[in-house]
Amino acid sequence: MLTASQIQEMVKGGEGYNVDFKRSVPSKVKEISDEVAGFANAAGGYVLIGVDNDNQIIGAEIDNNKRSAIQDTIGEISPSLKCEFYPVDVNGKKVWVIDVPSGKDKPYITGGIIYVREGANCQKLRSAEEIRAFFAECAKIFYDAIPCKWFDIDEDIDPRNFKEFMEKAHLSNTLPIKQLFDNLELNTDAGVPKNAAALFFGREPERKFPHAVIRCLRFKGLDKVHIIDDKTFGGPLYQQYLDALSWIESKLEVEYIIKGTGPRQEIWEIPLDVFKEAVMNAICHRDLYEEGATIMVEVYDDRVEISNPGGLLPVVAAEFGHKSMSRNPLVFGLFTRMHVVEKVGSGVPRMRELMKDAGLPEPIFSTKGFFTVTFMKRVKPQSVNGDRLNDRLNDRLNSREKRVLQIVKKTPGLRTNELSSMIEVSIPTLSRTLKNLVDLGLIEYRGAKKTGGYFSCRE
């Protein structure tokens, strides 16, 4: 049974993969059985009655008739499912808990429909054949739900990554880690952490999962012949996400348009927000059973391709762009709690919308074997009268280098830590950028080591 303090911690974190809130018993009580069946078809979870949409515990009174109605609608789930249903007093307010296990006899059907929990919502499936195909595709158990016996929560957690998760998920640091993992369904019934815990919170999880990385390549030209840059990002999954986005940004061109006294407008070759959607999609949907393949980000002169092992699940293929089903639902749920994922199933439509708004072709999707999305770059007009510096910038500098160069020209004498704060990148990353600009003869360091700064060589 949940305790009052456990419920308070869950409520602080909001609805997610393993918890759903109800202000009161809904007028259509079947909504309860839909949520319960969705949890049973996934990793289990809790329905909390007496919590509103603003994450406030308001309490609820459930009389015998309503209690019987809830038990009856759960009893209509087929095959039968045993759930605990009990009240908990939380600071004088009664919260009713429906404790749903991960079912042993999936799929569970209610009212002739199959639901599966995905993020903070339940997705409707149309037939038992679809969901059987779905679980067969995932080898009957999600990779991120497999027990990870080597992972020690006291020794192997990356503390900085864990702290960032707790802050973004609005969770209290006072809750013991084991209890938190239990609440997030990251432990088995025997208390063993699951793969999702190691992948999301572990220090260098690629030591045990060498394929769970993102490889980023910049090619010269339009094919795979000449590699200019090759980086592989490991570490906790959220850090991989940030590193991949930063790398992509550094490889794209940007134009700055200044009109009047207002802020300058940035026009990127490809809108940066599409990569937030595409990289997150790749992490949450990659088939980790394919141990010989990784997520790939490939940048060419005319396009960017992002691919992950595993094509579309059968249940998603029929409604591509409208239905979402993650191969790694525990991982997806953790990203949802961090508010990195906006809405289940919104990724593909949002990518299309962003490209359309930027006046670019819609993304191209390939779903055979690998899931690949291709974004075409903005066609740049040929420079006829540009001077040597502009030609050199267009040919040699990435967007971050151009930005640093502009700042140094406008405000000479800045030091590394000042520049790092202004463009919001780490000092090691900025140091590499500064070195490239110095090597190109575009900036130089003047003055003593502790008091000097960077100046444009054109000044």
Which residues are CB-contacts of 155 (< 8 A; sequence separation ≥ 6)?
Answer: none
Question: Which pLDDT does position 135 carry in this prediction?
Answer: 61
Q: Could you give the count of Cα atoms lying within 13 Å of 37 in the half-sphere of its Cβ?
A: 26
pLDDT by residue (tens digit) across 252-308?
Answer: 988 777 666 666 677 889 999 999 999 999 999 898 988 889 999 999 999 999 999
Please give the model's pTM, rounded to 2 decimal places. Answer: 0.62
> Tokens at residue 386, please?
């540009």
pLDDT by residue (tens digit) across 152-189?
Answer: 998 999 999 999 999 998 887 777 888 889 888 899 88
In degrees rounded to 5, what are phi and psi of residue 272? -65, -30
Residue with tokens 């239990």: 182
Question: Which pLDDT does position 384 carry in this prediction?
Answer: 42
3-class SS of residue 400? helix
Output DSSP code: residue 105.
S
- The two beta strands, 93-100 and 84-90, are antiparallel
Nearest to 220 by CA among 372, 379, 396: 396
H or E element that contains 416: helix 416-423
> Tokens at residue 192, please?
């063993």
Question: Which pLDDT does position 314 carry in this prediction?
Answer: 54
- The two beta strands, 303-309 and 295-299, are antiparallel
- The two beta strands, 254-257 and 226-233, are unpaired
10 Å Cβ neighbour count for 459? 9
Distance, in Å, from the CA atom of 86 to the CA atom of 95, rounded to the nearest integer, reads 9
In degrees rounded to 5, what are phi and psi of residue 84? -85, 140
pLDDT tens, residue order, the chain (459 aa)? 889 988 988 888 788 878 999 999 998 999 999 999 989 988 789 999 999 988 899 999 999 999 999 999 999 999 889 999 999 999 999 999 999 998 877 778 888 788 888 767 787 876 656 666 666 554 456 789 889 999 999 899 999 999 999 999 888 777 788 888 988 889 988 889 999 999 999 999 999 999 999 999 999 999 898 999 999 999 999 999 999 999 999 999 887 776 666 666 778 899 999 999 999 999 998 989 888 899 999 999 999 999 999 766 555 544 554 555 678 889 998 998 888 876 555 678 889 999 999 999 999 988 777 889 999 998 765 444 444 445 444 455 777 888 888 888 888 889 888 888 888 778 888 888 888 888 777 888 888 888 889 988 755
Distance, in Å, from the CA atom of 214 to the CA atom of 233, rounded to the nearest integer, reads 5
- The two beta strands, 443-446 and 453-456, are antiparallel
Q: Which amino acid appears at position 218 of this protein?
A: R
DSSP string, 316-344: HHTTTTT----S-HHHHHHHHHTT---ST
Q: What share of the chain is helix, strand, coil (3-state, %, to 5)?
A: 35, 20, 40
Domains of the chain: 4-125 (3.30.950.30), 133-380 (3.30.565.60), 388-456 (1.10.10.10)
> Tokens at residue 23, please?
């202000």
Residue with tokens 């999702």: 196
Contact criterion met (CB below 8 Å) for 442 and 458: yes
Distance, in Å, from the CA atom of 128 to the CA atom of 204, rounded to the nearest integer, reads 39
β partners of residue 367: none
What is the torsion angle, in degrees rounded to the nearest 10, for the CA atoms of residue 335, residue 268, residue 358 and residue 375? Answer: -60
- The two beta strands, 45-49 and 93-100, are antiparallel
In degrees rounded to 5, what are phi and psi of residue 350? -70, -40
Distance, in Å, from the CA atom of 166 to the CA atom of 337, rounded to the nearest integer, reads 9
Question: Which pLDDT does position 130 carry in this prediction?
Answer: 62
Provide the H-helix boundaries in 122-231.
128-137, 159-168, 177-183, 195-201
H or E element that contains 406: helix 399-410
CA angle 95, 99, 100 (to 5 degrees): 145
